[in-house]
Chains A and B, each alone.
Chain A
Amino acid sequence: METNELIVCRDAALGYEGRAVLSGLNLSVSAGDYLCVVGDNGSGKSTLMKGLLGLISPMEGSIDRAAELKNGAVGYLPQQTRAQKDFPATVYEVVLSGFLNRRGFRFFYTAAQKTAALQAIGKLGILELKDRCYRDLSGGQQQRVLLARALCAAGRLLILDEPITGLDPAAAQDLYKTLRYLNEKEGMAVVMVTHDLRSALENARMVLHIGKKSWFYGTAEDYLRSPEGRRFRKEEQ
């Protein structure tokens, strides 16, 4: 593994209880990349996500993850759960919890972590919401809070699972803008599972399309010329 590579999959097969959902997976994510994972429902997007996060190990082949990721330095933005929608916690409390992975046997947050949490909140432009309650925020604001928490945990990689689900179009565009900023200015690698193909193609440099039978992995420009991409363009017109 080269130093700027974060995740490398070689002929990996992923699945549960001996049955592969995905197989023959080859892909590499390096520092500064922007990869969108698209595909139909049930094609194995969330299985891939678990594989990339190291929550399941490959049945065949290998998934190599950089040492920092193994220590938990991954900025994960999971799908919201029902319980979270009315959770009594301030924005600051939620964002700070992003540091827990690196704290080892420490029981309390350090002053440096508290400062960094405020910086992450500032970076996402929600400093004025710092003491507000998470459940009182709009969907877009909640996603920003979770993204700020992800930044606290992240070293060089953000992994997002359907981040725009439930957002109105304006809030979704805002989120894409923020992600592009973090990718271009902060050099954060972004891996996003999404069903919003059009915006994915506008933002991502690389696309992984998981179909029931066919695969595509390459740049966004090549994708539009591929059979999968052509089908998408036909649907657009």
Chain B
Amino acid sequence: MELLEMFSWPFMQRALIAGVLVSLCAALLGVSLVLKRYSMIGDGLSHVSFGALAVAVALGITPLYFSIPVVILSAFFLLRLATSGSRMGNDAAIAVISASALAIGVLVISLTTGMTTDVDNYMFGSVLAMTETDVLLSAAVSAAVLALFVLFYHKLFAITFDENFARATGMRVELYNTLLSILTALTIVLGMRMMGAMLISSLVIFPALTAMRLFRSFRGVVLCAGATAVLCFGAGLIISFAESTPVGATVVVADLVLFLLACVIQWLRKKT
């Protein structure tokens, strides 16, 4: 009964719909990113997204219209960097970009609107901040991400497993890597509103890691990651409402608990 009451609030309904969709997208893409050793890209992108959001607010533009193109561009750039093996070292380059974006974002906010609850919202997310347009946009973009993921599932598997083979047999690896980076960027921008810049990357990484500990096939891992993400978001949202804790952090802790559980299961399986 209490659960029904909880979701009679319109903001809770919005949070649930948008959250489940975005978590699902993040988890599916996360499998590819984690296996390709690109986990840090998710983190880097969320910080870029934060910087873009801050600049957009300062300029008085609708945040999403500004941050989506900026983040897509940086996603493209970061993936390039990760595959090219630059002189600087990929992880160092990503750290530099993400710290710079974060710093610029904080500076812009403090010079314009001042360090208010806005910053807190962007950093750690807020369900209350979700408007109806946010939800509609999230739903539309998530639907597109899911459709593209299903259609290109086999190709994404091939480039995740073995880029060299795919390239040698004439697959357009760059095209699919670009697709992957655009989908990741979109998911991160949408998820940031809810989860915040500091925590969104966990939506990408945790479900994949949990699923990899439990399943042996790629399809199994993908499906399990999706299910894990939805379950953890639902649980996190409900607990955060009941206990008045921040949504983002609660969802991440739910993910962490499930991950530790998966580690224990894996350990027990190995012993027997």
Chain A residues with CB under 8 Å of chain B are: 53, 55, 70-74, 76, 78-79, 81-84, 87-90, 93-94, 96-98, 100-101, 107-109, 131-133, 136, 146, 149-150, 153, 159
15 cross-chain CB contacts under 8 A: A53-B168, A55-B167, A72-B169, A74-B168, A76-B169, A84-B161, A88-B212, A88-B217, A93-B218, A96-B154, A100-B169, A101-B169, A108-B154, A131-B217, A159-B168
Asked if A107 contacts B151 (CB within 8 A), the reply is yes
Given A78-B162, A78-B168, A97-B161, CB of A87 within 8 Å of CB of B35:
yes
B171 interface residue (CB < 8 Å to A): yes
Interface residues, chain B, with chain A CB atoms under 8 Å away = 35-37, 151-155, 157-158, 161-162, 164-171, 211-212, 215-221
Chain B residues with Cβ below 8 Å from A97 are 154, 157-158, 161-162
Q: Give the residues in chain B near A159, CB-CB below 8 Å.
A: 168
Which residues of chain B have C-beta atoms less than 8 A from A90's C-beta? 216-218
* Complex: A108 Cα to B152 Cα, angstroms: 9
Q: How far is the CB of B156 from chain A (nearest CB, A)?
A: 10
A55 near B221 (CB under 8 angstroms)? no
Q: A108 to chain B: which residues have CB within 8 Å?
A: 154
B37 nearest in chain A by CB position: A83
B169 contacts A83, C-beta separation under 8 Å = no
Give the CA-CA distance A49 to B151 in the complex, in Å: 32
A residues less than 8 Å from B169 (CB atoms)? 72-74, 76, 98, 100-101, 153
Residues A89 and B154 in contact, CB atoms below 8 Å apart: no
In the complex formed, the residue of B with least CB distance to A79 is B164
Chain B residue at smallest Cβ distance from A154: B169
Residue of A nearest to B220 (CB): A88
Chain B residues with Cβ under 8 A from A101's Cβ?
169-171
Q: Are B157 and A83 in contact (CB under 8 A)?
A: no
> Given A87-B35, A108-B154, do A70 and B170 touch, yes or no (CB 8 Å)?
yes
Docked Cα-Cα span, A90 to B215, in Å, equals 10
Q: By the criterion CB–CB under 8 Å, are B216 and A107 in contact?
A: no
Q: A53-B168, A71-B170, A78-B162 are in contact. Are A100 and B216 (CB under 8 A)?
A: no
Known: A88-B216, A89-B217, A132-B216. Is A76-B168 also a contact (CB below 8 A)? Answer: yes
Question: Of A70, A76, A133, A150, which is within 8 A of B216 by CB?
Answer: A133
Contacts of A81 in B (CB 8 A): 162, 164
Residue ID in chain B nearest A100 by CB atoms: B158
A87-B217 in contact (CB<8A)? no
- Residue contact A83 to B154, C-beta cutoff 8 Å: no
CB-CB < 8 A to B157: which residues of A? 89, 93, 97
CB distance from A190 to the nearest CB of B (A): 15
Q: Report yes or no: B35 in contact with A83, Cβ–Cβ below 8 A.
A: yes
For B211, the chain A residues whose CB sits under 8 A away are 88
A104 to B68 CA separation, bound complex (whole angstroms): 30
Do B158 and A88 touch (CB < 8 A)? no
In the complex, A149→B162 CA distance in Å? 11
CB distance from B59 to the nearest CB of A (A): 41
Residues of B within 8 A of A131 (CB): 217
Given A83-B36, A88-B217: 4 more A-B contacts, CB < 8 Å:
A72-B169, A81-B162, A83-B35, A131-B217
